[in-house]
Structure 1
Amino acid sequence: MAHQSLANPVETAIPANSGALRVSRRRFAAAAAFGAPALLRQPVGAAGERVVVIGAGIAGIAAAVDLQTAGLDVVVLEARNRSGGRIWTDHRWGFPIDLGASWIHGSAPANPIWRLCRDLGLRTVRTDWDDLVVYDVDGRLLSPSQSSTDAARYRSAYRKARRWGNRQLVDTSLQDGIDFAVRTRTFSPYDQRALDFRLNFEVEQDYGEDAASLSNWWYDQDSWLGGRQDSYLVDGYGQLVENLAKNLDIRLSTVVSSVAYGAFGVRVSTNRGVQQAAYAVVSVPLGVLKANRITFSPALTRAKRGAIARLGVGTLNKLYLGFGERFWDDREAIGFQSASRGEWSLWMDLEHILGEPILMALNAATFGKALESYSNQDTLDAAMTVLRTIYGRSIPDPQAAQITRWSQDDYSLGSYSHIPLGATGRDYRILSTPSADRLFWAGEATNRKYPQTVAGAYLSGQRAAQQILELV
């Protein structure tokens, strides 16, 4: 990779306009600019079969493509200065780094994202999550037999936790079930670290939330689309967005503040005026809906407001470290059994994918969110302390770094949805229900079968488009 100055290795890697990466957060004004009165008086008939899509993530883009292909007049409003939403491929190092979505979950034709990537000739590399080496808190490498024993103990506790939960008259957290499963065991500090590592690796990394908050009944009600094989997009997810969106009318830096809907159609108020149409597709992330960043008139139904309130938004953040040379294990994943669950517990080797000596740390749930309050330098220092515990004090400093802070990102306010205590899988379906046949909903949090995934978001956009096409 091109060597970068070590004077401030993290700061120099962070784009000036990158809200998700900056320590000094940019705050965007979201006040409505109501536009000319003449526009507000325009009858819906003049808008005809016009559709406003709110959000240029993969769900909004999928909806817009299908609607435009069917002959409708479509405009996409995007608050960011780029398309893609939580898909964000950065090229500042001279090769692609995915700051948001990285994997295709389900590498088979049943997955539409897999099919699209095949059709477009996008390169993928399959991820072997079993190609894992684990280190304890003191840097001791676990033997394969020890690691296998720890994994088997975790699986046994996990099965007991789920069986216990299913017997309860009310929902409990997954952590409640785990605590019950191991209640009669004498746990050494090592045993606790090993259990915590596995629970974070197997569950919390996937759902972006602590086991103590996840519903034991419902948290994993989602389905697999195209099998359980994950694949990494070598050249970045951004290529897919660019190909799908190339013929769309996307208005960037357009922040939606309110949406009015009724017999007249829809009126979408933004910082750049008002858009009027017959229908709107709302594809903003769940975190934005939970924060009430968009006002709806009339108010959304009690059922929909309840679903938004009950569903949770998790956190998964990445730290990319670029080095001059490789010093780590020749394995796809490196685990670290930290003193506190989930702290720098998972590292991915990207050299075999990108051909460059890069490590990626994945931090999820409580620690992933807490890490967002660290300064760039403190984040880097904490990461390097762990790497030097594992590989020795003589390893080099990184030459560049990229940090994400998705829970602080104004236009996502989190990474992806999950089902906490008090919610059920039905809440995804409630959120997906059209509002007065004027507002149609898309995004991963509106797909009950495939939430948390790019494929789920894409399919939800196609569903919203089809719902509109059935009315015109």
Structure 2
Amino acid sequence: MESEDKSDCQMQRVSSPSVIVIGSGFAGIAAARALHDAMFQVIVLESRNRIGGRVHTDYSFGFPVDLGASWLHGVCKENPLAPLIGRLGLPLYRTSGDNSVLYDHDLESYALYDFEGNQVPQELVSKTGKTFESILRETDLVRQEFSGDMSIQHAISIVFERRPDLRLEGLAHKVLQWYLCRMEGWFAADADTISVKCWDQEVLLPGGHGFMVRGYLPVINTLAKGLDIRLGHRVTKVVRHYNGVKVVVEDGRTFTADAAVVTVPLGVLKSYCIEFEPRLPQWKEEAINDLGIGIENKIVLLFEKVFWPNVEFLGVVAETSHGCSYFLNLHKATGHSALVYMPAGQLARDVEKLSDEEAANVAFRQLLKLLPNASPPIQYLVSHWGTDKNSLGSYSYDTVGKSHDLYERLRIPVDNLFFAGEATSIDYPGSVHGAYSTGLMAAEDCRMRVLERYGELDLFQPVMGEEVPVSAPILISRM
């Protein structure tokens, strides 16, 4: 399973089946961990100089800041990551319960402002939230009537034609646009590209949403312990034979094994920078092309001291969702004086064209709209998920006119190639637990397939991942 010279003799050693895992994000590390524990020889090939993929905990401020995923969506024992987070004793900070119109936040701890720096009255925000929920319920009636699909934005415009009483004016209209801006943030995409047929197809686990106070890195480091992970190994070609796979990396080195688990992000698959030989079947290529990949970035501003209200999030309301903005207050959850500006969709794309300093200035200018006396940041961090060639996007979403079944199609194996990652999770797309659970699924499918070929499959062996997990309570707070 090492480079070419050794690999041929290793392929003949029937006793130890081998697998190459491409990508060391949550899906890749979960698959590699499970296969390694099932006595497979596993090599993980990772293009970056770090593990974690779109989970990236940065420590340059002297404390952990997640530039990628930072929530556990569904703080409950049904969440596949819960036992692990519980065992590690990692604290979570709950930012919402179930059924919040804002998904990952409640309207319990917030402050919204207009461009003049005036705070929007709380009653108006709550009342507008109820209107927004009514509008979304009406879009359900719209999609039942129309056979074809349309965007959320188009469906909302039809609702307004039919129900002029739901149209809002003035400040209330701006608050409604802020709700839409937060919805776009959830999908990392603009409302005019999100499918009204499929936008609510994912399974939302109970228990609300928990912010990972110490970041996600301790979780992935625990899973990765003892694995053979090769950093700086960018895969360029995957060749599948009837009896194995050959994987080529950028510098020409070759690795061979019985099977491979492909966990690279959807954006990377879409860019066709990995050549598959023979080509992937048409149904698989269509799934790759037709699934949407959204972009949400984080601009983290560190300040000398806290000068903002003690709320979980701050926002600016505007005439359009594009003009609205959202800041997560890290001080409330972690005690550090930092704010995170989170642009999504086209706004995130625009910000990626700027230098880090210019991007930090954009965020600070937004902050000045709501707090005109804000002091400038002393440090900043900027993510570039859309232009980073290792991700080319943040996470997947349902685009107009395409089926939600595409996630499952992307997951289905092709011969001895297995696929995993958030974009292969039909129930939990766009989430860390979705990526993790598909990694376990791919590992189990791969184990069965390879052992079947070796004639070693013991049908009485427990399925991987079904051992009774050590139950530990998840620590959760809300100050």
Match of 1:194 among 175, 189, 194: 175
- Give 3-state SS (helix, strand or coil) of 2:348's partner: helix
Deviation at 1:127, TM superposition (A): 1.3
Task: Sort the Cα spacing of 1:439 and 1:451 in 2 relative to 1 into closer, same or farther, 3 A.
Answer: same
Q: Summarize the alignment of residues 34-433 of structure 1 with structure 2, pairs less than 5 Å apart.
A: 44-46=11-13, 49-128=17-96, 129=105, 130=107, 131-183=109-161, 185=164, 188-201=169-182, 203-225=183-205, 227-272=206-251, 273-343=253-323, 345-392=325-372, 394-433=373-412
Aligned partners of 1:192, 1:258: CA distance in 2, in Å? Answer: 51
Match of 1:441 among 390, 402, 419: 419
Shift of 1:262: 2.1
Aligned counterpart, 2:443? 465
CA distance in 1, matches of 2:9, 2:317: 62
Tell me the matched-pair count.
Answer: 434
Distance 1:382 1:277 in 2: 48
Query: Aligned partners of 1:397 and 1:43: how far apart in 2?
Result: 59
What amino acid is the match of 1:198? Answer: Y
Letter in 1 for 2:403: T
Q: What is the Cα deviation at residue 84 of structure 1? A: 0.4
Note the C-alpha offset of 1:199: 1.2
Q: 1:189: Cα distance to partner?
A: 4.9
- Cα–Cα, structure 1 residues 134 and 360, in superposed 2: closer, same or farther, change >3 Å? same
Q: Offset at 1:121?
A: 1.3
Shift of 1:427: 0.4
Aligned residues of 1:137 and 1:339 also touching (Cα < 8 A):
no
Alpha-carbon distance in 1 for matches of 2:307, 2:257: 57
Question: Structure 1 residues 358 and 46 mapped into 2: Cα distance closer, same or farther (>3 Å)?
Answer: same
Residue of structure 1 in register with 2:476 after alignment: none
Ranges in structure 1 where 5+ consecutive residues have no aligned partner? 1-34
Per-residue deviation at 1:100? 0.6
Q: Which residue of 2 aligns with 1:17?
A: none
1:236/1:187 CA distance change after superposition, 3 Å: closer
Q: Give ranges in structure 2 of 5+ residues lacking alignment.
A: 97-104, 452-479
DSSP 3-state at the match of 1:86: coil
Which piece of structure 1 moves more, 286-295 or 361-370? 361-370
C-alpha distance in structure 2 between counterparts of 1:418 and 1:106, whole Å? 18
What SS class does the counterpart of residue 186 from structure 2 fall into?
A: helix
| Distance in structure 2 (CA, Å) of the matches to 1:442 and 1:63 | 8
Pairwise CA distance, 1:403: 0.7
**One-letter code aligned to 1:374:** L
CA distance, structure 2, for counterparts of residue 430 and residue 378 of structure 1: 40
Residues in 2 aligned to 1:136 and 1:153: alpha-carbon distance in whole angstroms: 19
Shift of 1:362: 1.2
SS at match of 1:398: coil
**Matched position secondary structure for 1:51:** strand
The range that moved more, 113-122 or 376-385, is: 376-385
Cα contact 2:360–2:382 (8 A) shared by 1: no
Please report how far the alpha carbon of residue 190 of structure 1 lies from its aligned counterpart in structure 2 after TM superposition. 3.5
Q: CA deviation at 1:104?
A: 0.4
Q: Displacement, 1:333?
A: 1.2
Asked whether the equivalents of residues 328 and 391 of structure 1 are also in contact (C-alpha less than 8 Å), the reply is yes
Cα deviation, residue 228, structure 1: 4.6
Asked if the contact 2:300–2:380 (Cα under 8 Å) also holds between the matched residues in 1, the reply is yes
Aligned to 2:102: none
Letter of the aligned partner of 1:354 in structure 2? T
- Whether the 8 Å contact between 1:43 and 1:264 is mirrored in structure 2 is no
Q: What is the CA–CA distance in structure 2 between the aligned matches of 1:233 and 1:43, rounded to whole Å?
A: 42
Structure 2 CA distance for partners of 1:263 and 1:45, relative to 1, 3 Å: farther
Q: What is the CA-CA distance between 1:219 and the residue it aligns to? A: 1.9
Alignment partners' CA distance in 2, 1:234 and 1:155: 30
How far the C-alpha of 1:43 sits from its partner, in A, is 8.3
Corresponding position of 1:455: 433
Q: Distance in 1 between the 2:417 and 2:227 partners?
A: 20
Match of 2:463 in 1: none
Deviation at 1:423, TM superposition (A): 1.6
Q: Is the 8 Å Cα contact of residues 325 and 366 (structure 2) preserved in structure 1?
A: no
Q: Is the 8 A contact 1:344 1:363 kept in 2?
A: no
Residue 4 of structure 1: aligned partner: none
- Work out whether residues 239 and 278 of structure 2, in 8 Å CA contact, stay in contact via their aligned partners in 1: yes
CA contact (8 A) 1:346 1:361 kept: yes
What is the identity, as a one-letter code, of the residue corresponding to 2:74? G
- How far did 1:147 drift? 1.2
Question: In structure 1, how many angstroms separate the alpha carbons of the residues matched to 2:41 and 2:48?
Answer: 22
1:278, CA displacement in angstroms? 0.3
Aligned counterparts of 2:335 and 2:320: Cα–Cα separation in 1: 33
Letter in 2 for 1:195: L
Distance 1:359 1:41 in 2: 53
SS of the aligned residue for 1:124 comes to strand
